[in-house]
Amino acid sequence: MSTIAITPESALPARKHYLNIKTTLASWLLTTDHKRIAILYLISISVFFAAGGFFAGLIRLELLTPKGDLLDGDTYNKVFTLHGIIMIFFFLIPSIPAVLGNFLVPIMVGAKDLAFPKINLLSWYLYIIGGGLAVFALISGGVDTGWTFYTPYSSTYARSEVFLAVSAAFVAGFSSILTGLNFIVTIHKMRAPGLTWFRLPLFIWAHYATSLIQILGTPVVAITLLLVGLERLFHVGIFDPKLGGDPVLFQHLFWFYSHPAVYIMILPGMGVISEVITCFARKRVFGYEFIAFSSMAIAIIGFLVWGHHMFVSSQSTYAGIVFSLLTFLVAVPSAIKVFNWTATLYKGEISFEAPMMFAFGFIGLFTIGGLTGLFLGAMGTDVHFHDTYFVVSHFHYVMVGGMVMGFLCGMHFWWPKMTGRMYPQNIAIVAAVLVFIGFNFTFFPQFILGYLGMPRRYHEYAQEFQMLNVMSTAGASVLGFGYLLPVIYFTWSLFKGPAAGPNPWNAKGIEWQVQSPPPTFNFDEGRPIVVEEAYAYSTEG
Amino acid sequence: MEQQTESAILGMWLFLAQEIMFFGGLFAAYLVYRFKYPEAWAAGSEELNITLGAFNTVVLLVSSLTMAMSVHAAQTGKQKRLISFLFLTLALGLTFLVVKYFEYKAKWEHHLVPGSNFVIHSKMFPDVDQAHSQLFFVLYFFMTGMHALHMVIGAGLLIWLIVLAYKNYFTPQRFMKVELVGFYWHFVDIVWVFLFPLLYLVHRHV
Ligand code: HEM
Ligand SMILES: [Cu+2]
């Protein structure tokens, strides 16, 4: 199975690298090394993922039976809200950019660090403060508005810690803005000699596009959440119709960010997949320019389609039609990417290592998620599916099936680079298969549930839906186990894994030319000079 | 070094783009309600003190000029000029904030602060909807408040520059920090240039 060249541990001379150069706690908490900050993010993001996963488990257990026997209605609302807030703001949005992006963007462009290392550390602290506020909201009573904070419920009626929760999202938002700013400046100004725009890895293009969305979208939701907080604290009317405000305005402002934000949650994953597919197909990626430009197109058109979340919120039919058309338009660049990946695989020398298995999983799940998006983007069908489990399933397919799969894919691909150690391939492949199967068992039944009319966000349901819900809960336990496995073997590999060497996958790209783990300033032998494009594999694409 | 300068300047532009979107959300809310409730808007703006607003506009525009002079002084290595222009800019910024304080205070005394005691009596629209006028004042306080907060941060940055200037930190080769604060200061001024007509002058156009 394995084609990896492994050097025995004893053959390695003790070497100073970013992990062992200093070992005090302070040297980690005050570090400005982008790689160490990436590790800080990895640890904190994993903790939040576990917390979000725990709440997901509670939701699925409650829905095992049609009666509300595990959680009462109030608690159920709080549980799914916290699940949503934690997963979206504290896992999905930062995951790939803050961990893999932080680690790899400077190395891939041949720089010693990001443009603003101190701001990078600041963003981690903002993330932690935001997370702390979210946890505080949780222990001081919870939040029951749903992650979308729809007004006037959130601003006037909810009897829960809305103010703390919106502050948490607000602070985390600035962490995301600063990361985006750092990436854009680094990519513009710090590329190594010879690294032209069209020699950049597609991972970098994806992060560039993501960062644009972060800078232009996040401030809008930040100000909106601030207004909700204000309305809630001082009872002044902005969104509450009783006080002269307009709740639909909140939805416009919220989705103006939150639709583009779904691309913050998927573009970086797409960047990972482009890297992995070419590497394990041993082929130059098919249609490099198309993939690069489709990232930018998604970032731009993504700002014009927010109204498809509001087909049933008093929007005029004409506005609905326009938003519906634009929504179809934004599906095109995503489809281009899937097409190009498939074309890259075609006649490639494919090897089925663990990262590649996760990449296949990504393509499969993302395709289903994207296609069902079209049902929702078409106004006529959305009126039927709106706020049913169909929507829940759709966005889990794209975001969990896409981003979490992409995150795992990237972690398996770059783990040897980050830690210098290999992990057991066979078990990792089992994990990939389990995640894929578990995922489909969890969420496919939910499409049918939604089609049959089961509404989202209720803790009880009609008897006839039970069968499918039981399937879904059973699938979720398989999925949970699939997510647990990597934690176990990654931890094992950290201490016992065989040494990986600089380039275990025989991949192209600057990051594979430096030592694993990389030295503190990435390039001991001076800056690299780039003479060819990122994917100079022998087979042409 | 050159790369650092360029990076910092690009970073500042991106930060300001972020700021534009931040205020953009507020302006969008403002516009929606302005077209929905033109009367309430006119009645609200009737209550604002145009003289003070206009005075403050002039103060800010002049401060933009003195800020530009500081940048020039830093570039040409004129230490004394640099320090005096930074002080002048700071003084103008503080003047703005003091005037703002008196405006807020007057609104408080006239029950125009949104909340339980809000009442508005308009000559132009005697039976204007109270809730909608209150909305005008929510946005007035929030937008000018956000702007004032940016001014306070700007004043802090100016003090920091003054301290550095006293330590002879700036040279014709090293003046980027002045330039960046200058960018920021001009941006905050521009926001006010939009706020003034949108908030103070609305009722003159009904
Ligand atoms: C590319 C990655 C995508 C992600 C990450 C994503 C994510 C999401 C999320 C999170 C929601 C639910 C929001 C809520 O809580 O109410 C949602 C709903 C929706 N999505 Fe997507 N989506 C993606 C792609 C698409 C595509 C390609 C389309 C259409 C062509 C689409 C159309 C819609 C529509 C119309 C809704 C609203 C449904 C309703 O509430 O009635 N999405 N999506
Ligand atoms: Cu959307």
Cis peptide bond prior to A517, omega within 30° of 0: yes
- Helices and strands of chain A, counted as H and E runs: 17, 0
Backbone angles phi, psi at A159, to 5 degrees: -100, 50
**Measured on CA atoms in the order A470, A354, A331, A210, is the torsion positive or negative?**
positive
SS3 of residue A311 by DSSP: coil
Instruction: Say if the Cβ atoms of A185 and B138 lie within 8 Å.
Output: no
pLDDT of residue A268: 97
Under a CB-based contact definition with an 8 Å cutoff, are residues A508 and A528 in contact? no
- Return left, alpha or beta for A142; rule: phi > 0 is left, psi -120 to 50 is alpha, else beta: left
Give yes or no for A437 touching B (CB within 8 A). no
Mutate to test the pocket of ligand 1, among A395, A407, A447 (most ligand atoms within 8 A of CB): A395
- Tokens at B87, concatenated: 């002080």
Under a CB-based contact definition with an 8 Å cutoff, are residues A509 and A518 in contact? no
- For chain B, first and last CA: distance in Å? 55
Q: Print the SS3 string covering A336-405.
A: HHHHHHHHHHCCCCCCCCHHHHHHHHHHHHHHHHHHHHHHHHCHHHHHHHCCEHHHHHHHHHHHHHHHHH
- For A237, which of B3, B28, B138 is closest by C-beta distance? B138
> Which residues are within 8 A (CB) of A1 and not within 5 positions of it... i.e. 6 or more apart?
A352, A425, A426, A429
pLDDT by residue for chain A (541 residues), tens only, comes to 344 555 555 555 578 899 998 889 999 999 999 999 999 999 999 999 999 999 999 999 999 999 988 999 999 999 999 999 999 999 999 999 999 999 999 999 999 999 999 999 999 999 999 999 999 998 898 999 999 999 888 888 887 889 999 999 999 999 999 999 999 999 999 999 999 999 999 999 999 999 999 999 999 999 999 999 989 988 888 898 888 889 999 999 999 999 999 999 999 999 999 999 999 999 999 999 999 999 999 999 999 999 999 998 878 888 999 999 999 998 999 999 999 999 999 988 999 999 999 999 999 999 999 999 999 999 889 989 999 999 999 999 999 999 999 999 999 999 999 999 999 999 999 999 999 999 999 999 999 999 999 999 999 999 999 999 999 999 999 999 999 999 999 999 999 999 999 999 999 889 999 999 999 999 987 888 888 888 888 655 4
Residue A12 CB: number of other CB atoms within 10 A? 11
Give yes or no for A478 touching B (CB within 8 A). no
> In the structure, which protein residues have their CB atom closer than 6 angstroms to any atom of ligand 1?
A 148, 262-263, 265-266, 308-309, 327, 331, 334, 370, 373-374, 376-377, 382, 385-386, 391, 394-395, 398-399
In terms of CA atoms, which chain B residue is nearest residue A212?
Answer: B14
Residue A411: alpha-carbon gap to chain centroid: 13
What CA–CA distance (Å, rounded) separates A184 from B148?
29
Under a CB-based contact definition with an 8 Å cutoff, are residues B153 and B169 in contact? no
Which of A108, A229, A258, A104 is CA-nearest to residue A170?
A229
